[in-house]
Structure 1
């Protein structure tokens, strides 16, 4: 049995009685590092400041009422915003054994879930198994967190031999690490190996479909996913990937139907509801879109990461429906219920412009779009999808300069930006070939400027600044062969002169792989590979098998 005394635990439960019972159970097993959160918001704030080994979370955080987040939505936020590490033990506590609540909790992959009532022996047995498993996998998780993916793969192979009890877990991490390296055929092979030993393993079948999807083998992925859902009708992640697969095949109506089926089974997942709303809107199913977006706004209301973009989606749907009054109510709810800031102002102004367009007030709509664009320049958390929607609205109102500025801002946004190809595509899809040419020329000039800056920085011995300059150019132009070549050369030079850094070395390897795909016959590839290996030998780094 694992040692418990050093474990830290966060109990998330609104009930003082249950918190006390859990505290007593943990104390009986020498666990004394215990903190409490009464609800999702408190838990998120605590987890943002402090890491815990274990989170014990009640599913019905509001006592079964309609207010606040439940445990599923909390876990969704924690996973999506990476507030808990992959090795954090998250155990859901629930009285529900068969309905959609537990289905939803299970699909978000908590470490375990425990049905109430339970004894101290039951709880500690579950915790003991989880801790033992975590300890076995922890070295791999640490290497992944450091960016040392090749070393993580080596540890996975060692774990398969030395700890056969957790062979499937090591294989799963091995496949996921290959995927993180864009090594999809290698990942797919690992999943097939798992299935050869355990044919009914659902996550391995999903993994194969994910690899096929990444390699644009959409029909293969569709067949695997449809078979998987036939075997496991409540394997919810399979529905999500199947919907994306149908979209990739150009079958949006079928994709919408898949998500509608999924929402009937598990109706609480906010991101799935949002995807359903987007598909329904794209296929002119206004009724489904409205219901989905209303559900998103309602379910996300108590989230610490609530997004004003959900209100815009609902307003856009109501405007298409012709319901200006309801759209106005949604805008007022946005203003009342969300804290003022550039993101909220961008969304408010864009939503207002949509309503004014419906009323035929072109001048008023254009003024609101200018306000939205001005606010967007200071907004850090808007999605590219919303920004592109704002660009398109500006183009419809002949606000060409504003639209071009917005696209340039996205092109230069290091965190949430778009590539040069995507920037050109925005204008091409809007029928503005003239602006597409202009933005393409700007992107080309930026790439040339980045190459010049990189050379200058290297000439001054500023290796890290040179790497920053050229990798920013790679993000903007990920298929530009001269930029990729310069990036690999610059990174290898830093590694050679300043010392080996595993994450940077991984980046160089990935860029070389991308360059090889784009130009397999490029004359510099062999030299770059030799230089990489020579630097490994220089610093005593074992080459990955």
Structure 2
């Protein structure tokens, strides 16, 4: 390669070991590079990438206690700090399957195992740069968003039948899939498979068939591809999507659980798996996964308060299914988790999230009147955009406090955000639909109960009315109108069951703290006086 060309290329060397950096820098100088930047960690590397348009990045996988090479590459791609012609090569002494599979997923330009010699480094770097140069028109058109032009450039290279023909063929298939032209992609990949091209051609064929919803054919191909190291992760990812679309959520979860063992650093996949656990009502598994996500994402671009908040949310969901003693222990853990959360992240930035969690904590502890007071005191419904998980949690909080309108408000806000087409948002969309169906079914059930109780009261079947109002109050314990109706029916009864008294106490507590109109307040006082005479257990409730 022309020495003058190499002398003008900007190279970044990222390694946390100074002697190793010095040794590799010497090799780079021998190759002909003169503009060599060095970084000991990801923070320094990102800073250099922000200041300079680099042509080549040589990055060690292990970079000490902070971001590793995988996470750095992910961050640079996400922040668009790598221009289309920049070559990114990972170097590492690690050959563990987890690391190799993770690197394959991100698709750097090359992966070089340590230790390596000067001739090996030179050969691999020159090869990568030549390939980039030969394919530059494809990359540029793709980066500009002109997929049709990128395909035309790929065809031009394929016709030349030179040393980068195979790479151009692979890029063309990926461009067809990216454009959503699945029928044409199927025809193209089938031709490559017939020509006995590498295993990625068969994966492309399977994906194009899956996207056309021919699930049986896709399942057969994807199952075969799981036996190849190169496609072990991606084929299982698409298999999980296939089972998800078929409605077999447990099978999709099991496959993703296996894939995360092969390549654990893919945070969107971990989040998708947690959503599948929630859809399967396995709240304990979802809590464990979100706990793991918080640790894995600590030094990555995915590190955020939402990871810890999601862990807390799942603990609350799981606690609502547990026995009282276990529930108290779990909710105590949530309190500690939130205390540690505000030490890492600014409380002002997550104030709404923390408030909603406090409301749900109070609901889980049975302090429903306090929960509704907190929600009414600090929160007004606004069009301010919140994180998708925050919207879902807010919908749950409003539903648990009996505010159907507030619940639907945040359901609608969340639905507006889920417009992307990928496995993660698909799982979020299904989770949202499932929750909404649950809310609607329960709401309809409550309407029927209230109608039945009202009819029983009008027919002077007061005992029956009390039982039905009590049942409805257990489902919607923060509805003042329902609470007042229950107390009214109880004043007409000669006696009620022991099960009804705790519900009556909650109704009294709710109405004591709720802002009531003068007319309603007078009715409440009247019922309270009557009930305090009828039931000694209720005598200690007086409105202040």
Matching residue within 214, 220, 227 for 1:223: 220
RMSD of aligned alpha carbons: 3.5
Q: 1:429 maps to what in 2?
A: 437
1:53/1:277 Cα in 2 relative to 1: closer, same or farther (>3 Å)?
same
Q: 2:171 maps to what in 1?
A: 173
1:390 aligns with 2:394: yes
Matching residue within 327, 334, 348 for 2:334: 327
Matches of residues 294-313 of structure 1 in structure 2 within 5 Å?
294-313=291-310
Taking the aligned partners of 2:133 and 2:15, their CA distance within structure 1 comes to 26
Taking the aligned partners of 2:79 and 2:27, their CA distance within structure 1 comes to 30
Taking the aligned partners of 1:427 and 1:289, their CA distance within structure 2 comes to 16
Q: Is the 8 A contact 2:391 2:413 kept in 1?
A: no
Matches of residues 244-323 of structure 1 in structure 2 within 5 Å?
244-319=241-316, 320-321=318-319, 322=327, 323=330
Taking the aligned partners of 1:254 and 1:414, their CA distance within structure 2 comes to 24
Q: Deviations over 1:91-149 (max 9, x none)?
A: 11111124422332233212111111112221121111111111111111111121222
1:212 aligns with 2:209: yes
TM-score, normalised on structure 1?
0.69
TM-superposed CA distance for 1:292, in Å, is 2.1
Q: 2:150 maps to what in 1?
A: 152
1:34/1:354 Cα in 2 relative to 1: closer, same or farther (>3 Å)?
farther
Q: 2:233 maps to what in 1?
A: 236
TM-score, normalised on structure 2?
0.69
Matching residue within 331, 351, 365 for 1:359: 365
Matching residue within 40, 44, 58 for 1:56: 58
Taking the aligned partners of 2:97 and 2:145, their CA distance within structure 1 comes to 39
Q: Deviations over 1:339-396 (max 9, x none)?
A: 4554x3343334333333321233444466679976985557x2x3542443344334
1:345 aligns with 2:342: no
Q: Is the 8 A contact 1:293 1:314 kept in 2?
A: yes
Q: Secondary structure at the match of 2:27?
A: helix
Q: 2:525 maps to what in 1?
A: none
The higher radius of gyration belongs to 2
1:196 aligns with 2:187: no
1:213/1:376 Cα in 2 relative to 1: closer, same or farther (>3 Å)?
farther
1:375/1:431 Cα in 2 relative to 1: closer, same or farther (>3 Å)?
closer
Structure 2: 5+ residue stretches without partners? 320-326, 444-544
Q: Secondary structure at the match of 1:113?
A: strand
Structure 1: 5+ residue stretches without partners? 436-545
1:93/1:214 Cα in 2 relative to 1: closer, same or farther (>3 Å)?
same
Taking the aligned partners of 2:393 and 2:243, their CA distance within structure 1 comes to 23
Q: Secondary structure at the match of 1:230?
A: coil
Q: Deviations over 1:222-264 (max 9, x none)?
A: 2211110034487212222211211111111111211222233
* Larger RCO (alpha carbons 8 Å, 6+ apart): 1
1:40 aligns with 2:37: no
Q: Secondary structure at the match of 1:52?
A: coil
Matching residue within 7, 21, 24 for 1:22: 24
Q: 2:343 maps to what in 1?
A: 336
1:25/1:354 Cα in 2 relative to 1: closer, same or farther (>3 Å)?
farther
